[in-house]
Amino acid sequence: MFPKRQIRTISDQTIKMLNAYDKKRLVEINNLDVTYGSGKKAFRAVKDFNLNVYDGEVLGLVGESGSGKSTIGKALVGLVDYSFGQIKIDNKLLPKQKSSFMKFGKQLKDYKTVSKFMIDKVQMIFQNPTNSLNPHKNIEDVLKEGLNNLKDVLPLYLLQYDEFVFNKIYNQFIKSSNLENQVINFDLLINDIKENDYHNEQYYDAFLAYLINNQADQALVDQLYLFKMNRANVINNIFRDQINHKLIMSILKQVGMDESILKRFPLEFSGGQQQRIGIARSIVLRPKLLVADEPISALDVSIQAQVVNIFNDLKEKFNLTIVFIAHDLRMVEYISDRIAVMNKGTLLEIGPTSEIINNPVHPYTKSLLDAVPSIDSNKGSLIGRVYDPNMHDYSVDNQPDWIELENKHFVLATPAELEQWLNEKGASNEQEKN
């Protein structure tokens, strides 16, 4: 007998939630289940999960311990298998089981292609930096771990070189010109460079023509031409160890550290310094997707803000797409473009950060916000709001669906529930005014 094949449909409202923005989708998660164990001991940690993450955004994924948020992160980087649904990253379908066993021909070739993409372009930062850094390797070897997995590191160095050259020349050009309307054109050029697998020689000719057409100083044109010639010299005369060292030095500078730490070992550093090293190890590969699994929860409060600022700086510099997993809404608020709230493996509310923080609707979201310490005496009690999942009167004929509120803000509820929650919110606001 063949096993029964399960088919799930995606509701129109779910599709509307997934396609809220007309932007490039880097991550697409549809009908995802993640199950631990099997048989009678099977536990479904993630249930029918749907989510899109857009290119260049920071999505804050929040929930209490056991909500399934870390499982989502691990599924995205291939650390856990998923039992149903699909995950696509940059339009590449991740296999349900991360093993080449019993794969042949085209299936094996596709698996190797996706595996290479995951190594090159998807990275994770873990919650506990002490456990995620090998204590027997010095910092230089730790930072080289990812680079050593790459077949060729020259493209990474050339990308860094090209970005430096183009930004340097362009900034000098802008200072000596009044061509503010050209900024958009240049930004498009830079973005095009990042999307073309580092084969950027032709962009030097395009940039030279750009400068000449806009009557740039001849000295600036000559400077760009010299950079182009030097690039060709680099390709022919630089060795892998030299490239590794240059990439490591550059990324250390980005996280506020320097060459003096390279021969030291992870346990010689504080938790905040270890997390900076972990961030550097992930970013040195220039990933398209970075999954940060509670990267600040193990740090002192005084250090958390510094690490969040590092994430903000790196996001702007490298145009990173980040899934920032946390239970602390204080910090998620400062880094995220959107916030997604989940509980017990189910996504409950999603929207722009300002909407989730200032206009929460789902009782679970309100309970998370109420748990945040505040100097406002009107905010909650010492215990705070407690969410009871049994409050929902769901049945076969009464199932929740995604409902759009405003400003791309969606909540999972039935119409009757939503009406009740909005009425309670209105009454609460009136009480606070009085």
What dotted CATH number matches 12-149+243-339? 3.40.50.300
Q: Among 158-172, 267-281, 314-328, which stretch is predicted with the lowest mean pLDDT? A: 158-172
* pLDDT-derived band at 221, boundaries 50, 70, 90: very high
* pLDDT-derived band at 163, boundaries 50, 70, 90: confident
pLDDT for res 110? 77
DSSP state of 154: H
**pLDDT greater than 70 at residue 430:** no
DSSP H or E run through 46: strand 43-54
pLDDT for res 306? 86
In percent, the amount of the chain with pLDDT more than 90 equals: 51
Q: Where are the domains of the chain?
A: 12-149+243-339, 154-240, 349-388+407-433
Which of 371, 339, 373, 374 is closest to 356 using CA atoms?
339
- How far apart CA 210 and CA 226 sit, in angstroms, is 16
| Tokens standing for residue 356 | 């989730």
pLDDT for res 198? 47
pLDDT for res 376? 58
Q: How many CB atoms lie within 10 A of CB 311?
A: 23
For residue 340, the cross-strand partners are 61, 350
Tell me the pLDDT tens digit for each residue of 81-101: 999 999 999 999 998 877 655
Task: Quote the Cα angle for 337-340-344, to 5°.
Answer: 160
**pLDDT greater than 60 at residue 182:** no
pLDDT for res 20? 93
* Cβ-based neighbours of 15, under 8 Å, separated by 6 or more: none
DSSP state of 24: -
Tell me the pLDDT tens digit for each residue of 357-391: 999 999 999 999 887 766 554 554 545 577 888 88
Alpha carbon distance, N-terminus to C-terminus of the chain: 68
- How far apart CA 191 and CA 185 sit, in angstroms, is 10
DSSP state of 361: -
- How far apart CA 191 and CA 132 sit, in angstroms, is 32
Q: Among 154-168, 266-280, 310-324, 376-390, which stretch is predicted with the lowest mean pLDDT? A: 376-390
**pLDDT greater than 80 at residue 266:** yes
**pLDDT greater than 50 at residue 230:** yes
Tell me the pLDDT tens digit for each residue of 18-66: 999 999 999 999 999 999 998 888 999 999 999 999 999 999 999 999 9
Q: Is the pTM of this model over 0.85?
A: yes
pLDDT for res 190? 59
pLDDT for res 174? 79
* Three-state DSSP class for residue 404: strand
**pLDDT greater than 70 at residue 426:** no
Q: Between these two residues, 258 and 99, which has the higher pLDDT value?
A: 258
Q: Between these two residues, 199 and 144, which has the higher pLDDT value?
A: 144
Q: Which amino acid is at 29?
A: I
pLDDT for res 184? 46
